[in-house]
Amino acid sequence: MKIRTRHSVVAVALISAGALFLSGCSAGPADSANSDKPLTIGASVLGTEFPAVVALDKGMQEEARKLGVKLVIADAGGQASKQTNDVSDLVSQGVDGIVINAVDSSAIVASAQAALAAKIPLASAFTTLGTATCAYSGSVGHVGFNEQGWAKLQGQEAVKILPNGGNVAIIDGAAGLQSSKLRHDGFVKELEANPAIKVVASQPGNFDRTTALTAMENILQAHPDLSLVYAPDDNMAVGVIQAIKAAGKTGKIQVLGIGGSKDGLKAVQAGTMHSTVFSSLEQGGRQVIDAMVANLRGTDKKMEQCINVPQTLVDSSNIDKFMDKGEY
């Protein structure tokens, strides 16, 4: 699972980032297989205050227009309670399918189950539902990032950067998002390859640049001897870079991000961020709508398929190929 200078996402876990989706049999009403039936898809998204969500919305809107379906987007504004109400409203309206980009993976489960109970096909995009690491049980499927794959790439990069070990800090995403946990745990697991690398601090950045900056300032006071910081969202990583610069430690502490945002790519180009991982949210948005429409029209009835948007590590060796690819 950011806009302006604030949140990203999800990258976290704005984040999520392709190729994508689906598997199984139809969960929708019997008449949804009629390819001539006008379709309405409801999409409940985390919030357009997050630039990554803006990119997701753009991709969904483009594909909906292309396929001739109506797309109703409900913006949760980062509020789990509002998202719960939004999904309930979509169920009451009798939309043909629902896409959820969750604010809180756990809080939205009851709403997801209510949609499925109403025989409305459900898909998740870029933030998983419940404790699922990908597709939610009974859903059409999940389109998004390989959160653990992202984390694995940057964990391996950290091991390369610190062959002799060093102190590492992590600026985490948002509590409540399964994607944040996956990005944290996947990175830490890779560090086990070198016992001399120690994670000495971890604080939440909530996918927000200012929050990440403040968290980094606090960590630097307690751990001035840091070698590397992992911020699994480029918006947070930019906040980290600002704190490092203010402390006079630019070039002394390596920063690893995730997302491939415009500011993240600029930081890699400038040398203030060692690397990021690029994935296309717009492409993911297009594919989640394509997958839902295929299910509703009966051209592809597969269920619970997990499809991940492709991801590429971007550093000084290939940054020139990605400078025009940032989406948010």
Give the separation between CA 9 and CA 3, rounded to whole angstroms. 9
pLDDT at residue 36, as a whole number: 62
Is residue 147's pLDDT more than 90?
A: no
Q: Can you tell me the mean pLDDT for 134-143?
A: 96
Average pLDDT in the chain: 89
H helices of 247-298, where?
Answer: 262-270, 281-297
What is the CATH number assigned to the segment(s) 147-278? 3.40.50.2300
What is the CATH number assigned to the segment(s) 30-145+280-310? 3.40.50.2300
**Domain map (residue ranges) of the chain:** 30-145+280-310, 147-278
Q: Give yes or no on whether 30-145+280-310 and 147-278 have one common fold.
A: yes
Is residue 301's pLDDT more than 80?
A: yes
Is residue 292's pLDDT more than 60?
A: yes
Q: Can you tell me the mean pLDDT for 59-75?
A: 98
pLDDT at residue 164, as a whole number: 98
pLDDT tier at 86, thresholds 50, 70, 90: very high
Is residue 307's pLDDT more than 90?
A: no
Tell me the HSE value of 14 on the side-chain side, using a 13 A CA sphere: 34
Place of tokens 């971890």: 202
pLDDT tier at 145, thresholds 50, 70, 90: confident
pLDDT tier at 176, thresholds 50, 70, 90: confident
* C-alpha separations of 262 from 60, 201, 228, 231, 327 in Å: 20, 27, 22, 16, 7
Listed in sequence order, the residues at least 6 apart from 85 whose beta carbon sits closer than 8 Å to its beta carbon are: none
Express each pLDDT in 24-52 by its tens digit: 333 344 344 445 668 999 999 999 988 88
Q: Can you tell me the mean pLDDT for 192-203?
A: 98
Check: CB of residue 105 under 8 Å from CB of residue 49: no
For the chain, strand residue ranges (E) read 40-45, 70-75, 97-100, 122-125, 141-144, 166-172, 197-204, 228-230, 254-256, 276-278, 305-308, 312-314
Positive or negative CA dihedral for 79, 84, 98, 96? negative
In the chain, what percentage of residues exceed pLDDT 70? 89
Q: Can you tell me the mean pLDDT for 296-318?
A: 94
Max intra-chain CA distance, the chain: 64
Tell me the HSE value of 272 on the side-chain side, using a 13 A CA sphere: 20
Residues making up the chain, counted from first to last = 328
Check: CB of residue 23 under 8 Å from CB of residue 305: yes
Express each pLDDT in 215-267 by its tens digit: 999 999 999 999 999 999 999 999 999 999 999 999 999 999 999 999 999 99
